[in-house]
Amino acid sequence: MREREAPMHIDATGLTCPLPVLRLQKALRGLPPATTICLHATDPMARIDVPHFLREHGHVLVETTAKPEAAPGGLTLYEFVICTR
C-alpha cells in the first residue's frame, strides 16, 4: 500500500493582494486531480480572494483556518487547504 503524500505547501506570508492568489495559480498548473495543497497567507484579503479564485476555477476549498498572531510580526496566519479538480 502506498503511503499518503504530504500536501504541497505554498508560503505567501507577507505578500499582499493579488500575490497569494497568483502564487496559488502558478502552483496549480499541471497538478493532477485530487492533489492537496496548503496555502499560508497573512493578507486579510486572501480570505475573500482565495475562495473566489477556487470557485471560478473549479477547485475545492477543504478548510480555512485563521490563527491569530501566529505569523511573524504578530499577524494572523490564514491557512487554506485545497483539493484540485
Q: Which residues are catalytic?
A: 17
Smallest CA-to-CA distance from 73 within 14, 16, 17 is with 14
Beta partners for residue 77, in sequence order: 67
Distance CA 66, CA 22 (A): 20
